[in-house]
Amino acid sequence: MKQRNRNMFQPKRKLLTCALASVLVVASGHAIAQSSNATLRGKADAGAQVTAVNTATGSKRQVTANADGSYALAGLPPGTYTVSSGGTERTVTLQVATSVSLDLVGGAPAAPAGDATTLDTVRVSAPPLQEVKTSEVGTNVSLKQINTVPQLTRNFLEFADTVPGMQFETDQSSGQSKLRGGAQKTSAINVYIDGVGQKNYVLTGGVAGQDQSAGNPFPQLAIGEYKVVTSNYKAEFDQVGSAAIIAQTKSGTNEFKGELFTRYTNTSMRQPTVGEEAKGEDKSQTKQNEYGFALGGPIIQDKMHFFFSYEAKDFVLNVNPVATERQWESFEDFLPAGVRAQLGPTTQPFNEDLYFGKLSWDVGDNDRLELSAKYRDEEGVSGAGGTTTDSAAKVNFNTDKRYDLRWMHYGETFLNEARVTYEDSLFNPAAFTIGNQSVYTRGPNRNDVLITADSTSALSIQRKGQKGPAFQNDLTFNSFEWMGDHVVKMGVKYKSVELTQSENSAINPTFRYSVNDGSLAVTPYSPVGTNSIPYMVSFNAPFEGASPIVETTAKQYGIYIQDDWDVTDRLQLNLGLRWDYEEIPSYVDFRTPQEVVDALYGPGTGSNSGGIYADQLRAGGVNIEDYISTGNNRKSDKNNWAPRLGFSYDLAGDERWVLFGGAGRSYDRNLYDYLGLEQVKAALATYDISFVESSGCTPAPGTCVNWDPRFLNGIDELYSLIDTRRRNGEIDLMNNDLVTPYSDQYSLGIRGTIGEWNSSATVAYVHSKEGFVFTLGNRYPNGNFYDAPSWDAADLAQPWEHQPPGFGALILGDNGIETKTTQLLLSTEKPYTEESGWGFTAAYTFSRAKGNRGGDEHYSFDAATIDGYPFIDLKAVPRHRLVMTGIYDLPWGFTASAKVTLATPPPLNAVVGWRDYGSITAAPPLIVSTDTPGTFGTKQLDLSLSKRFDIAEDMAFEVRADMINVTNAKNYSSYRTVWGSGGVYDPETSVVSTGNGVTSYTPPRTLFVSARLTW
């Protein structure tokens, strides 16, 4: 195994361990988490009281200015405050997760408060103070943007798309959405709701519940605003490798406020998808119906408030029509009548219920309690469309429950938060049809599937989840006076979470049938039409006494310290360090089954005695001892030290132009969906049994038998064909020295203000390392990974047929995926104000991303090891991307808004065999990146128009129309590449716009209508 170097920023451990241990002792008594709260700093008269009163809730916070006049009010929930000291009073709005400056020196004129106006449940009376002194690369998304900018989904994360470096993608065939920061995996993000991470520990997607879901992680009605930090976040943020989304939920106020909404579209309100047009099919009957309400108000005036919201989705989603693969369309007439009846347009229903409730209680001037709960419940059909019929789809059951209790104590010189949380998130898909599944192919023993009642649905019955409590203590000291002004934050975290992973449970067998339209030779195995006898059955079976469900209780520990140090009035340093540690017993304590050891080394032998297959692996560069676990030779990774260093320098001392930059490291995690496979595969095997009458195979126990119609009667009849006492499935082994994936982040930029405009320009570089990857461990007898198999001496092939004796393939889990992303991030914003009546944002991203794997790929079977993959331009990000939004108040209560998205098509990543470009010399495949044609991969204009009717005082009714993709730009994302000819590699890529499988980056032109009542 290669030597890993993670020594950049490596601290002196003994000194830091002692320092952080002392933090644990101090923080156990006093703590504050400021992930979503704001900090207000500045100058006042020495020794004067500085008081901030929330204009919506009446809550009051105050501190005493230091001898030099500096003060800091930390832990303020975002909102509008009247801030006063001496004879000076200002009304300001604080945004989520910001640290801003406000001077209140005696004699300064009081700023006018302005006319208060109502915006949902928050009474706004001043423009927000802009955060300029920070080293973070981030942008705030306001409630006005959330409520006004055109939107395809009601997923609040969609607005992160307006931030440089971010992409929000919605799959047009499934409705499933994902958020990506830079070129890293979607699982590298983390979303913090009121300071609590929503990380998915088991599945991809970054946020619990987002994998394979068309739903939302949180009700949009309950989101007040949020901030997107793309890199160089402070030390309080954990379990994140790319972007951090920091959201603050709404709270009740002293006024009873409410909102009702409904939003709708259907088939008649959209154009055909590119897939429907390409096939010449009628439009599928689709609809999207969303509705919900929110209520908030006082329980005790100025003291206790409540907020509750509910949102629902009732969708029928469009997918590509069900059809045979394009080259085999002539076979449709020869399929069974019941299968032919399932061809054509199809849809996928989806339903979601989202609840959120919150109680806020200001017990006194110095104490605040908050209790919140979220419940998410989803049921959606997925997998149908393309070459998969409705009967072969699967049903995804998805639930997510979260509870958060926190106590905040505001002292004169410190802030304290104690937080207890509990989560229970479960993804539990099942087959849509319980029973036999069918796959139809062109002739027997072929892989080119024509139409299926799908083999994958037989493997779709799973149970994957996470649940458990967590406790977090954090401490903020308002101000320390030595060598400048300091706000010091520190904290500890402990979490116990039960992880569950089950894969490919055994219920539905899959029978494969041969189809011949007469173009194939007519034999007993392949008569014209569909052979009534399947040529193969595939099914899963657990070994006797084994369970394919793996559960473990992981322990997570975290500790950090952060110092925001105003060295001078112009220079601020952000100095942070955190350390994280996780124990996963199922990985650390796992013992490789003896049957597997015997297959690798020989019966009765140990790891030191050699063995034919072990020698074969060594010759191929695989030291199998790195993967054999004895139950005591694995250790958890304790080396997760993450420094976070940054600065900001006010060039003129007036906060108009600020130079900023930073360097830091952030650790993510290895998903349990991967780690658990080591045990799941050790308990479960997939069996492929051929039938003599329709495949011509040679009878052999467990692989080739005579057909018997009783095999159609259920899985128990098939169990009689195998010996479940012997382990013989695929072998998945994890490296004994797995480490935690991480990213090193660097940035340098400038942000400034000209009038009402806020702009920034940043160059950011992110180097992510040690991403998890599976590679093929099989090797030929001579150790080669590519060789000439006996069946075709002119070809090169991977050693799939050279697995360990008596077992399936050997799959090895390692670290090794690496990306290097350089980005130029440009943004400008004129915030919306009621005085001006308009707002505008623009975000441009230039990206150059390279890596050895792109997107969310984690299986890498095209080279012997991940080190054999070249660094290529990655398909995860386009080279150029521009997103602009605008809001404009028109006469008579009308408001117009727009969003424009322009992006170049991302490159294609592919594996090209030597035959693909006509070579006559056998060679391993090429792993390549190639440019795609066209100036734009995405060219999309979205428009919205709303009309407000004032019904009574503080009550209004609004109707709205959103037109998505106004120009109906096709934005094809399906391509065909000719890789060359005559042995010359010369790729030429063209857009595919006809036939099956045509896809688009964007939806067709679609009209959404909505109505909203607020009071």
pLDDT at 800 over 80: yes
Q: Please report, as a single letter, which amino acid is at residue 211.
A: D
pLDDT score, position 123: 45
Report the candidate in 639, 640, 636 with the shortest Cα–Cα distance to residue 667: 640
Tell me which of 483 and 340 has the higher pLDDT.
340
Q: What is the pLDDT of residues 529-585, one digit of tens each?
A: 999 999 999 888 888 888 888 999 999 999 999 999 999 999 999 999 999 999 999
How far is the CA of 823 from the CAs of 231, 764, 819, 881, 969, in angstroms? 11, 5, 13, 11, 27
Quote the distance between the C-alpha of residue 389 and its chain's center. Answer: 28
pLDDT score, position 364: 86
- Nearest-angstrom CA–CA distance, 319 and 383: 9
If residue 22 lies in a helix (H) or strand (E), which one and from where to where?
Answer: helix 13-27
- Nearest-angstrom CA–CA distance, 874 and 861: 18
> The dihedral of CA 741, 28, 65, 40: what is its sign?
positive
pLDDT at 454 over 50: no
The DSSP line for 691-746 is EHHHH-PPPBTTTEE---GGGGG-HHHHHTTS-TTS--S-EEEE-TT----EEEEE
pLDDT at 890 over 60: yes
pLDDT band at 959 (very low <50, low <70, confident <90, very high): very high
How far is the CA of 26 from the CAs of 235, 475, 724, in angstroms? 18, 8, 57
Q: What is the pLDDT of residues 113-164, one digit of tens each?
A: 333 333 343 444 577 888 888 999 999 999 999 999 999 999 999 999 999 9
pLDDT at 23 over 50: no
- Nearest-angstrom CA–CA distance, 481 and 479: 7
Ranking 295-299, 305-309, 757-761, 854-858 by mean pLDDT, the lowest is 854-858
pLDDT band at 173 (very low <50, low <70, confident <90, very high): confident
> The dihedral of CA 520, 524, 529, 531: what is its sign?
negative
Q: What is the pLDDT of residues 472-499, one digit of tens each?
A: 999 999 877 666 789 999 999 999 999 9
pLDDT band at 759 (very low <50, low <70, confident <90, very high): very high
pLDDT score, position 970: 95
**Domain architecture of the chain: domains with CATH:** 31-124 (2.60.40.1120), 138-249 (2.170.130.10), 262-592+627-1014 (2.40.170.20)
If residue 148 lies in a helix (H) or strand (E), which one and from where to where?
Answer: helix 143-148
Contact, 267 vs 213, CB < 8 A? no
Residue range 362-386: mean pLDDT, rounded? 93
pLDDT at 646 over 50: yes
Q: What is the pLDDT of residues 301-338, one digit of tens each?
A: 999 999 999 999 999 998 878 888 766 777 888 888 88
pLDDT at 21 over 60: no
pLDDT score, position 608: 40
Tell me which of 874 and 320 has the higher pLDDT.
874
Residue range 982-1011: mean pLDDT, rounded? 93
Total H helices, total E strands in the chain: 11, 53
Q: What is the pLDDT of residues 192-251, one digit of tens each?
A: 999 999 999 999 999 999 988 999 999 999 999 999 999 999 999 999 999 999 999 999
pLDDT band at 947 (very low <50, low <70, confident <90, very high): very high
Contact, 657 vs 757, CB < 8 A? no
Global pTM value: 0.91
Q: What is the pLDDT of residues 573-619, one digit of tens each?
A: 999 999 999 999 999 999 999 989 999 987 544 444 446 889 999 99
Q: What is the pLDDT of residues 727-749, one digit of tens each?
A: 788 999 999 999 999 999 999 99
pLDDT band at 448 (very low <50, low <70, confident <90, very high): low
When the pLDDT of each residue in the chain is averaged and rounded to a whole number, the result is 88
R_g (Cα) of the chain, nearest Å: 30
> The dihedral of CA 648, 654, 655, 659: what is its sign?
negative
Strand partners, 181: 166
DSSP category for residue 907: P
pLDDT at 641 over 70: yes
pLDDT score, position 611: 67
pLDDT score, position 31: 31
What angle is formed at CA 92 by the lines to CA 52 and CA 125, rounded to 5 degrees?
A: 115
pLDDT band at 457 (very low <50, low <70, confident <90, very high): very low
Report the candidate in 481, 826, 851, 506 with the shortest Cα–Cα distance to residue 685: 506
The DSSP line for 489-545 is EEEEEEEEEEEEEE-S-S---EEEEEEE-SSSPPBTTB-SEE-SS-SEEEEEEEPTT
Contact, 951 vs 980, CB < 8 A? no
Residue range 289-295: mean pLDDT, rounded? 98
pLDDT at 898 over 60: yes
pLDDT score, position 229: 96
pLDDT score, position 545: 81
> The dihedral of CA 99, 101, 106, 109: what is its sign?
negative
pLDDT score, position 483: 65
pLDDT score, position 32: 31
Contact, 509 vs 436, CB < 8 A? yes
**DSSP-based three-state secondary structure for 797:** strand
Ranking 274-278, 468-472, 555-559, 668-672 by mean pLDDT, the lowest is 274-278
pLDDT score, position 995: 82
